[in-house]
Amino acid sequence: MTDRTNDIATLITQLRVVGQLTRTEAQVARLRVAQASSDAVRDELRQNAADADGRAKRIAGALRDLGALPDPVTPLFGRVATLVRGALEQAQPLDEAVLGDLVLEHQLRDRAHYLVALAEATGRPEVRELAEHLVASHTETIQWLTDVLADLGTGRPAALGASPLQQVAAHVTQAANTPARGALDTVGAGVTQTVEAATKVAGAARDTAADALHTAATVTTDAASGLAQTAATAAGAVRDTAAQALGTVTEATGKVVTGAVQGASAAADAVRSTAEQATGDAVDGRTEAADEPLAASTGTPPIAGFAELPAHAAVAALRTLDDPGDIALMLEFEQAHGNRPAVVAAARLRATTVRTG
């Protein structure tokens, strides 16, 4: 009896997590509508968002059937997390953003497989049917995103296009990884646009975080405290990512972009300051590693200094490799060191592209 009770508790926990991730998936699909390359793709993305909303409702219904208490705070977490995600990916090239979408879809599919097993163990056929539907839906979305990445990697017209800010980020990455510095003039011309966009994103994040904290405070004191910690951690993530991306610009353009870096850092400081004022205490974000570290490799990678490169720069560097052996060595090196999901996925995609090209 105790084992069965524990299994049902685990089932409820996993359903709550999948429900939260599904709401994030719906918001991401809506963000991608503006990046669609055609009306047909826009319609498809809107339908994907509606389908994700439907799956979230079915998950909520399954939780009610299991006797789980309502969770009014989780949607607020999702709103803040989605806004921060949108801000972070604007400092990355488009392929990095798509790789992030792939990570989300793989996690949803893997958790859905786990739900199938839990539903069998607890004798819940209706939950198993829902979980199998989730597996099929996320498998289809993973294939779609993989095709988009393949199109981006081979230079073919893709279903998604980069936003203006992502185009600037792509130029920055290219300039930072190209021996010839002829692209610096183009990067310098885009710095002002980058800073203005970053400032707008920071302002939106500040307003949404404050609104979410106020709403959570009216629900329950404990829930408000948890949301405050999430908002402060999210603000720290925005600041760290902005500093990393604009730090790359500084290396590429030198003194020309010093003022731009200071402007973006000030915008990120505004987000952190607002979160700290709302909570009353500064909360330090901590990130737990999702995968176990692999054994360290003593080999020298074909790309010097690869372990020190940020994820988006490492992905860009992998695209310069044409030898399957070098790509395999880079994949083995990454798995033995940083083991970053986006970089590992990009290495495997590059290997497939080279083999089929």
Domain that holds residue 106: 2-162
* Residue 293 located in a structural domain: no
Of residues 63 and 241, the one with the higher pLDDT is: 63
* Residue 334 located in a structural domain: yes
Structure tokens, 139:
């498998």
Using one digit for the tens of pLDDT, what is the confidence trace for 243-296?
454 454 344 444 433 443 354 454 445 435 544 554 444 334 333 333 333 333
* Residue 285 located in a structural domain: no
Question: Side chain identity at 239, as an amino acid letter?
Answer: R
Residues 166 and 310: their CA atoms lie apart, in Å, by: 16
* Residue 290 located in a structural domain: no
Using one digit for the tens of pLDDT, what is the confidence trace for 131-171?
999 999 999 999 999 999 999 899 898 888 876 655 665 55
Torsion angles phi and psi, residue 196, rounded to 5: -60, -45
Verify that 157 and 204 share a domain, yes or no.
no
Q: What CATH number is attached to the domain comprising 44?
A: 1.20.1260.10
Terminus-to-terminus CA distance in the chain, angstroms? 57
Verify that 118 and 207 share a domain, yes or no.
no
Number of domains in the chain: 3
Q: Which residues of 54-79 are buried (b: 16+ CB within 10 A; e: fewer)?
A: ebbebbbebbeebebeeeebeebbbb
Verify that 224 and 139 share a domain, yes or no.
no
Structure tokens, 296:
């360290």
| Among 244, 279, 314, residue at a domain's last position | 279
* Residue 294 located in a structural domain: no
Verify that 14 and 119 share a domain, yes or no.
yes
Q: What is the pLDDT of residue 97?
A: 84
